Chains A and B, each alone.
Chain A
Amino acid sequence: MKRLKKIFNQKPKNILNIYFTAGYPNRDDLVEIGLALEKNGVDILEIGIPYSDPLADGPTIQASSQQALKNGMNVRLLFTQVAELRKQSEIPIILMGNFNQVMQYGENQFFRKCAEVGVDGVILPDMPTYVYEEQFKELFEELDLGITFLVAPQTEPERLKKMDELTRGFVYVVSSAAITGGTGGVSDSQEAYFKRITGYDWHHPTLIGFGIKDHQSFAKACAYANGAIIGSAFIRALEGSTNLGQTINEFVGSIKKEKK
């Protein structure tokens, strides 16, 4: 988790966290994509473990997961690829998955393996908080592994507090009541919610995700949080790319609007 801590210390604003699905577009693209994102100034990588039946994902990430599974991606291979990426990079890496995949690997083995290959934190949106507290909290502390909990527009104040307390690393602020991949940008009512969320006295950095897709929505999100997470829009950019390096350079550039 030290890499995560370091980045938030160095850069309290405008953190850019990019999500991509492991094994997409091709089975072994993970290292190349990770390095290219780092080179272009992305701050955190969030790597999705492809799943057959993700509940909170929209069509874009679903399709990338289907393709990744067809390509032969699996959890064991993912760990190998992350270990390879870690050899070449110090960028913070977060794994995002569904609890069932962790269960099948063996929960304790899974978390130990994360620490071993240099993963900095995990996001398991469907893991109940009591399961984490009762069964894994101590292990995460022992391993110094991060865990990110989500808050959403309907999350009540005392639950916000709980999520903040349990989180190790950063809190994930879900931008709207929706699954991933929305294309609407950031609306006025969302800004009101962001304002409410920023009003809360967080002990951890916050990143806003879901529906963040371009420079404008990224900038809006960054006004209310330490940064933002972009997923589906990046997957859409990768789709059909014939030159990953160039695609990634252009995509990240368009988010940051840096002059080339």
Chain B
Amino acid sequence: MKPNKNGYYGKFGGAYIPEMLYPNVKNLNENYLKIINSDSFQKDFKSLLKDYVGRPSPLYFAERLSKKYDTQVYLKREDLNHTGAHKINNTIGQILLAQELGKKRIIAETGAGQHGVATATVCALMGLECIVYMGEVDIERQAPNVARMKMLGAEVRPAKSGSRTLKDATNEAIRDWIAHPIDTHYIIGSVVGPHPYPDMVALFQSVISEEMKWQLQEHVGRENPDAIIACVGGGSNAAGAFYHYLEDEKVRLIAVEAAGLGIDSGESAATSVLGSEGVIHGSRTLLMQTDDGQIIEPYSISAGLDYPGIGPLHAHLIKTERAEVFSATDQEALQAGYLLSKIEGIIPALESAHALAALEMAKFRKDDVVVVNLSGRGDKDLATYIAHLP
């Protein structure tokens, strides 16, 4: 699914940016497809994904989980990628693009720290300066990733405004970009931001569903599953997992948002339920806001889902009812995380645990093939898991 020439999926998307960013965004817009579709880019991108990231990531039939939910559950193992999440698919793509554009300085925002680590990693790989903005709250709850970024040579700059989480880190990164229009490329970590970012990040993540097609062919003799489940913060892992199935209406697309302490608790990040149409970080989409248009500070136990907006592609998929939405509370995600650890020996990222929690909520037939996109591993979340052990 491609956005139109102004970058809209239906009525969502576009580029709502101050003029200071216009030349940069225009430059990106005019060049990204040409660069990405070139043979040399594709060759570099594919070889790095294979030899450096370790792709293809396995598609694993989770037998005991399948038995528990009485359906056929497959896990797309993005947690086994280098650096531990799907985020690196995008940063590999964007760092190659940044080099092609002649940029020398890289900035990024991060919530859980996975995107920050993935960005710091590719900057180390390519020898580029790297500055990662991260909310003060997240710096505290994702300490291992902060240490990793520093070891990889990145500078981690605390975002001290607002809720001091992902939204504020993104604000700071955009402000930095405004102040460095010539030498800097902003590696956005999800399918959010002004056009062309949502399309570009979705393209880089689409490798997930590209692999799923032939892997499912091998496992079950058909390319298409009956359902795909993915968590949605901004929505990049979901975009990647859905991408090659968007046009095939028979495949159920299930997006799982973070309900935090509960949808109606006032402490939530379930954007598509609680949000309304507006503009956030340069994109017209769904976001959590007051009647007066002030952005509401979200909450989730999972730093990667703690975001008041959602990518415009997902806003479109949800509003047109192409995608179903569930929301999982902190508790439901934790329980799903403990369960996967116990019965499959896999500790999932708290973000991915939200996707797993939907197995409790959605109805599937016994012979349905259900792919859960396991977007990341749980090492970074151990302290949180342990603190909440039942």
Contacts and interface: CB of A to CB of B under 8 A. Distances in A.
Q: Do A and B bind each other?
A: yes
Interface of A: 51-53, 55-56, 58, 62, 66, 69, 74-76, 98-105, 125-128, 130-131, 149-156, 159, 163, 174, 177-179
20 contacts: A51-B294, A53-B295, A55-B171, A55-B175, A55-B178, A56-B175, A56-B178, A74-B292, A76-B292, A100-B279, A104-B276, A105-B293, A128-B15, A150-B18, A159-B22, A177-B178, A177-B180, A177-B181, A178-B20, A179-B179
Contacts of B280: 53, 100
Contacts of B182: 154, 177
B104 to A, nearest CB: 16
B102 interface: no
Contact of A128 (B16, B175, B291): B16
A131 B175 CA distance: 23
Contacts, number: 109
Given A74-B292, A99-B16, A100-B280, A53 B23 contact: no
A150 B294 CA distance: 23
Of A52, A149, A150, A156, most buried by chain B (CB within 10 Å of CB) is A52
A179 B279 contact: no
A126 B25 CA distance: 13
Contacts of B276: 104
A103 B16 CA distance: 12
Interface in B158-172: 161-162, 167-168, 171
Contacts of B18: 55-56, 125-126, 150
B58 interface: no
Interface string B145-188: 00000000000000001100001100100110011111000000
Contacts of A125: 18-19
A60 to B, nearest CB: 12
Nearest to A149: B19
Contacts of B20: 56, 150, 152, 154, 174, 177-178
A190 to B, nearest CB: 14
Chain B interface size band reads 35 or more
Contacts of A55: 17-18, 171, 174-175, 178, 281-282
A127 to B, nearest CB: 7
Contacts of B22: 152, 154-155, 159
Contacts of A152: 19-20, 22-23, 181
Contact of A103 (B6, B24, B279, B294): B279
Q: Which of B24, B281, B289 has the most CB of A within 10 A?
A: B289
Contacts of A74: 292
Nearest to B27: A154
B6 A130 contact: yes
B179 A156 contact: no
Nearest to B179: A178
Nearest to B291: A104
Interface in B288-327: 289-295
B278 interface: yes
B294 A52 contact: yes
A202 to B, nearest CB: 16
Contact of B162 (A52, A99, A174): A52
A128 B25 CA distance: 12
Interface string B259-292: 0000000000000000011111110000001111
